[in-house]
Copies of this chain bind each other. A is one copy, B any other.
Amino acid sequence: MSIERVRRHIDEHREEALDMLKDLVRQPSVSAQDKGVKECAQVLADLLRRLGIAAEILPTATQPIVFGEIVRDAAAYTLLCYGHYDVQPPEPLDLWQTPPFEPAVRDGRLYGRGTGDNKGQLIAHVLAAHAWLEAAGGPPINLKFVFEGEEESGSPSLAGFIRGQKSRLAADLVYISDGGLHPSGAPTISLGNRGILGLTLVARGADRDNHSGNKGGVAPNPVWMLVHLLSSMVDPTGRVLIEGFYDHVRPIGATEQRLLATMDYDPKAFAATMGLETLPMDGPTYWTRIMLEPYCNINGFLSGYVGPGSKTIIPSTAECRLDIRLVVDQTTADILTKVRRHVAKVDPRVQVLARGFGTMEASRTAPEHPAVGVIADAIRRCRGVAPAIDLASGGSLPNAVWPSVLGVDHIGVPYANADENNHSPNENLSLDRFYDGIHVSAEVFRALGDAAARGALPRRAAR
């Protein structure tokens, strides 16, 4: 059976696989600092070609995208594997045990910036494809690879790129491996993420600070403006009071309810990870709030004098920063309009500034999507344990481009160890996790091919 030969090939070529990952990590590619990104695109494209995969470097207005494909029959089922070859800045350098761009193996892990996030994960798909090419003449489905060079900088060109390359990128599903497994090592499937809308509210009173004795009662105080505006926006339970805010929130279906009830939850242990004694809620409530409900967060507030001693002033300005986490079917544009309308009604003196930090749309693939079960089975075959299904992450990722621009669903399967230290010093990828990742990719290709062959998967033509 061909999958056996593929597995054997993967196991017999571990050293070469690790060397390829090292080559990739050795090439810095810090998008925030525009350091080595274009050189890394070249290294990656060369690697794909060396492995027998047609590859091109496609420029965008910012950083290039490395595109690769193995298409034997244009009508066959097509999986688009997405990843990013850019990395976070390595600073602070003095906290690294070995230099960030000199990959080093210690205690069964490869250390280096980008090992887990995301070079080791994206190359797992490529190595799985290569194993299929070598051991079975090719994978059982068409594969497309989109590896971008600026995910760590908010993917500014990705949506436009996809829009411009729609037919070339045409696929039946997008597959993403990023982030880490459960701390226990248990595998997970991630079906989406919340969106984020970043805002700053600025209230202005007088054009200077005033004496709170001499003017207290007659001069307007901008902190009070924000306090009353904010309390009109969100109630003490966290429910947002802005008209129409919940209009498009998708009702929670039966499958979601079932999955929520089975999700891992321990109020004491979970509370401890965030610095609390316990959590006053049950598991389904906890997960519903993070994955399926929006939340309006205040991440910063500044007004007046906050240094040592005191200053009895009426401050001239007050500023408050919000990040509103949105769920699927809500859009940042609609919510921004509603926030502006609310503020204009309650206190038009307050300015609403849309700050572009990581504004992203929410996205979610339905848990009933047939590919979810197919991929879960593939993982169980590789890992011996069924993955947990995460309906969405609470945080925000640029995944909405797939359904909204390319018109195709996305499924994520993290390959890295939970303690990969992504974005931190001493980033690493467990070698076990790396090799397992290659196996999972290979198995996923097979499982999707089998399911597509029996007509069990939705196809793009049917959309």
Most buried by B among A236, A276, A281, A301: A301
In the bound complex, residues from chain B placing their C-beta under 8 Å from that of A313 are 299
In the bound complex, residues from chain B placing their C-beta under 8 Å from that of A236 are 224, 228
By the criterion CB–CB under 8 Å, are A315 and B299 in contact? yes
Which residues of A from 228 to 271 have beta carbons under 8 Å from B? Answer: 228, 230-231, 234-236, 238
Contact flags (1/0) for A316-348 with B, using CB distance below 8 Å? 101111010100000000000000000000000
In the bound complex, residues from chain B placing their C-beta under 8 Å from that of A309 are 357
Known A276-B207, A316-B275, A325-B212; judge A218-B290 contact (CB<8 A).
yes
Distance of A213 from chain B, by nearest CB (Å): 3
In the bound complex, residues from chain B placing their C-beta under 8 Å from that of A275 are 206-208, 210, 316
Residue in chain B with minimal CB distance to A228: B236
Out of B293, B301, B323, which one reaches A223, CB within 8 Å? B301
Distance of A435 from chain B, by nearest CB (Å): 28
By the criterion CB–CB under 8 Å, are B394 and A213 in contact? yes
Residue in chain B with minimal CB distance to A303: B301
A302 contacts chain B at the CB level, 8 A cutoff: yes
In the bound complex, residues from chain B placing their C-beta under 8 Å from that of A217 are 238, 289-290, 293, 295, 325, 394
Interface size on A, residues (CB 8 A): 72
Out of B214, B221, B295, B323, which one reaches A393, CB within 8 Å? B214
In the bound complex, residues from chain B placing their C-beta under 8 Å from that of A72 are none
A310 contacts chain B at the CB level, 8 A cutoff: yes
Known A303-B301, A311-B299, A358-B312; judge A216-B290 contact (CB<8 A).
yes
In the bound complex, residues from chain B placing their C-beta under 8 Å from that of A385 are none
Which residues of A from 264 to 316 have beta carbons under 8 Å from B? Answer: 274-276, 279, 281, 286, 289-290, 293, 295, 297-306, 309-316
Known A211-B395, A297-B314, A355-B310; judge A218-B289 contact (CB<8 A).
yes
A453 contacts chain B at the CB level, 8 A cutoff: no
Distance of A200 from chain B, by nearest CB (Å): 9
In the bound complex, residues from chain B placing their C-beta under 8 Å from that of A276 are 205-207, 219-220
A84 contacts chain B at the CB level, 8 A cutoff: no
Most buried by B among A196, A298, A303: A298
Q: CA A34 – CA B120 in complex, angstroms?
A: 67
Known A207-B276, A231-B231; judge A299-B289 contact (CB<8 A).
no
In the bound complex, residues from chain B placing their C-beta under 8 Å from that of A210 are 274-275
By the criterion CB–CB under 8 Å, are B312 and A297 in contact? yes
A227 contacts chain B at the CB level, 8 A cutoff: yes
Distance of A205 from chain B, by nearest CB (Å): 8
By the criterion CB–CB under 8 Å, are B396 and A213 in contact? yes
By the criterion CB–CB under 8 Å, are A305 and B311 in contact? no
Residue in chain B with minimal CB distance to A194: B213
Distance of A89 from chain B, by nearest CB (Å): 13
A398 contacts chain B at the CB level, 8 A cutoff: no
Residue in chain B with minimal CB distance to A232: B231
Q: CA A383 – CA B223 in complex, angstroms?
A: 44
By the criterion CB–CB under 8 Å, are B228 and A325 in contact? no
By the criterion CB–CB under 8 Å, are A299 and B314 in contact? yes
A460 contacts chain B at the CB level, 8 A cutoff: no
In the assembled complex, 13 residue pairs joining A and B whose CB atoms fall closer than 8 Å, in A order, are A193-B213, A208-B274, A211-B395, A212-B299, A215-B394, A216-B295, A216-B297, A218-B290, A219-B276, A223-B320, A300-B304, A305-B321, A310-B321
